[in-house]
Amino acid sequence: MNTAPEFVISRKQAEEVSDMVGTPAFVYDERTLRENAKAVSNFPNAFGLTARYAMKANPHSTVLRIFDQMGLHFDASTVYEAQRAALAGINPEKIQLTSQVIHEEKILEDLVSQGMLFNATSLHQLEIANRVVSNREISIRINPGEGSGAFKTLTTGGPESSFGIWHEDILEAKAMVDSYGLKVVGLHTHIGSGADPEVGKVIARKSLHFANDFPEATKFNLGGGFKRGRVPGEKTTDLQEYGMAIATEFRNFYGETGREFHLEIEPGTYLVANTGSLLTRVMDVKKTTEDQNFLLVDAGMNEVLRIPLYGAQHRLTVIPQDSEPREERDYIVCGPCCESTDVLTIKAKSPDTPEARRLTEARIGDLFEIGSCGAYCESMGTKGYNAIPEPPIALIGLDDKVHQISSRGTLSQLLQNEIVPEGY
C-alpha cells in the first residue's frame, strides 16, 4: 500500500496556477519535496550514510537547491548535468558523476579539480581517469551480473545491460588502477529502477565482496531504484525495511573482514515522483462508437513521455469548472500531438494498448490534473515535437503561495539554433 506523501493539487491551487501561467504547466510542491528528503536521510545504515539525489529525475535549479538545503548530495549522469548542478550553486564536492559516455574530457577535468568525484563505468573510463583526475581518487561502477527493474528496459544490471564494468573484468580493472596509481575510494552498483527489494539484498551481499580487490575503498554506493507507487495498487518501497536489511549485510561484512563501509544511495524517483503534477486543460471531447469516448487535453507525450514509452500509470483527475454534480464516464485521454501514441490512458506495461479510464464527466474548459509528474516528465520531455513549446513550471511554497520558477517556452527558442544556408 502506498502510504508515502503525495501532492494532489487543490482546485484553488489549480486555478491560481492557471491564472498565473496558463496551461499546460508543471506544478511542484515544496513541502512534499522536503518531507521526502527527510525520509531518505533517515535510511537505516550501519556505518554512516550519504544520500545522493539522482538529478536526472528532475534537474530544476529550485529542486536542487531545496535538496541541497536538506543536506542531500547529488548524482549526475553526464558532465553537462554536473555543470548544471554547479551552476545551480551546488558545491562540486557534493557531486558524483556516473556517466555512460564522457562527452568532453576538459569539462570533466575542470569539475574533478573542483572536488567532484568521478565514478568510472568502463575500462576505457579508467584510461580517461588516468588523464584527468589530478588527485588520483575515483570510484568505479560494477555490473554485478544480475539486475532487477519494473521493466526490462529499466534493468541496469546483468549481461543485457551496458552499465558499469562487467564483474568478470574486475581483475583487469584492478590491474589498470594499480598501474595508473589511481586510488579507488568508492565502489558502486545499481541494478535497476523499480527494483525488487529482495534482489537488492542479494546484490548488496554479492557486491560487497568486490571490495576485496580494492582495499582503499571506504564507501559503497548501492544506487537507487526505490519504487514509488503512483496509482492505487502500485507499491512504494518501505525504506526502513529495505535499509535495515542492507545495514545487516554491511555489519556481516564487517564481521567477516573488519572493514566498515559508509553507505551511499542515490534515489531519484522516490524523492520527486509524487511531488508534482502536470496541470492541463480539456480542449475537446469526442467519440467514435457509442461507448468510445475521447478526451483531449493540451499536454501529452511531449511532457509525459514515460506513459507511451513504458505504459506507465499516472493518476488522472478532471477538475470541473463548476460545482454541479456530474456522472462518470470511460475516456481514452489523448494529448495534442499529431501522433497515434500520444495517449495518456495506456494499459499498464503495454505501451501499444490504449485503455479507457473511468473519470468524472469532462467538459471543454475544465482543468485536468496528471498526477505524479515530478520525476522523469519535465526532464524527459520531447521538447518541441509539433513545434509545441515547453510548459512553464510553478512551485507551491511552504507559504502555500504559487511561485513561478520557469517561464513558458517560445517558438523562437525552438528555432534559435537553426541555420538556413544562403539561397535556401
Q: What is the mean pLDDT of residues 91-100?
A: 96
Q: Examine the fold and report which residue of 272, 291, 314 is the final residue of a domain before the chain moves on.
A: 272
- DSSP sequence for 102-136: -S-HHHHHHHHHTTPEEEE-SHHHHHHHHHH-TT-
Residue 300 pLDDT > 60:
yes
Residue 3 inside a domain? The answer is no
CATH number at residue 153: 3.20.20.10
DSSP state of 399: T
Task: At 415, list the grid cell.
Answer: 528555432
Task: Say how many Å lie between the first and final Cα of the chain, rounded.
Answer: 60
- Averaged pLDDT of the chain: 92
Are 88 and 72 spatial neighbours (Cβ–Cβ below 8 Å)?
A: no
Residues 101 and 58 in one domain: yes
Residues 264 and 331 in one domain: no
Neighbours of 236 (CB within 10 A): 18
pLDDT digits (tens, 9 = 90+) for 166-180: 988 999 999 999 999
Residues 162 and 218 in one domain: yes
Q: Are strands 262-265 and 49-54 parallel, antiparallel or unpaired?
A: parallel
CATH number at residue 334: 2.40.37.10
Residues 315 and 390 in one domain: yes
Neighbours of 80 (CB within 10 A): 14
Give how many domains the chain has, as a whole number: 2
Residue 317 inside a domain? The answer is yes
Residue 24 inside a domain? The answer is no
Residues 243 and 288 in one domain: no
Residues 301 and 222 in one domain: no
What pLDDT sits at residue 152?
A: 46
Residue 147 inside a domain? The answer is yes
Residue 332 pLDDT > 60:
yes
Q: What is the mean pLDDT of residues 13-39?
A: 98
Task: Name the nearest CA neighbour of 53 among 266, 264, 222.
Answer: 266
What pLDDT sits at residue 150?
A: 46
Residues 268 and 338 in one domain: no
Residues 297 and 308 in one domain: yes
What pLDDT sits at residue 337?
A: 97
Q: Examine the fold and report which residue of 272, 301, 324 is the final residue of a domain before the chain moves on.
A: 272
CA distance 238 to 1: 10
Residues 287 and 316 in one domain: yes
Residue 423 inside a domain? The answer is no
Beta strands in 180-313 (DSSP E): 183-188, 219-221, 262-265, 276-287, 293-297
What pLDDT sits at residue 161?
A: 64
Residue 245 pLDDT > 90:
no
Residue 182 pLDDT > 50:
yes
Q: What is the mean pLDDT of residues 73-91?
A: 97
Q: What is the mean pLDDT of residues 388-395?
A: 97
* Its pTM surpasses 0.85: yes
Q: Which helix (H) or strand (E) holds 174?
A: helix 170-180
- If phi > 0 it is left, if psi is from -120 to 50 it is alpha, else beta; for residue 420 that is beta
Task: At 269, list the grid cell.
Answer: 524517483
Residues 87 and 223 in one domain: yes
Q: Mean pLDDT check: name the lowest of 146-155, 181-190, 317-326.
A: 146-155
Task: At 35, list the grid cell.
Answer: 518531507
Q: What is the mean pLDDT of residues 85-99?
A: 97
pLDDT band at 190 (very low <50, low <70, confident <90, very high): confident
Residues 221 and 329 in one domain: no
What pLDDT sits at residue 200?
A: 66
pLDDT band at 388 (very low <50, low <70, confident <90, very high): very high
Beta strands in 177-300 (DSSP E): 183-188, 219-221, 262-265, 276-287, 293-297
What pLDDT sits at residue 160?
A: 62
Residue 390 inside a domain? The answer is yes
Domain containing residue 83? 30-272
pLDDT digits (tens, 9 = 90+) for 345-386: 999 888 889 999 999 999 999 999 999 999 999 999 988 899
Q: Which residues pair with 51 in a beta bridge?
A: 265
Cα Rg of the chain, angstroms: 23
Burial class (CB in 10 A: 0-12, 13-18, 19+), 422: exposed
Give the contacts of 184 (CB within 8 A, at least 6 positions apart). Answer: 138, 139, 140, 177, 214, 216, 217
Residue 331 pLDDT > 90:
yes
Q: Mean pLDDT check: name the lowest of 9-23, 109-123, 142-156, 314-328.
A: 142-156
Residues 244 and 383 in one domain: no
Q: What is the mean pLDDT of residues 57-82?
A: 98
Backbone φ and ψ of 70, nearest 5°: -85, 5
What pLDDT sits at residue 2?
A: 43
Omega cis (within 30) before 24: yes
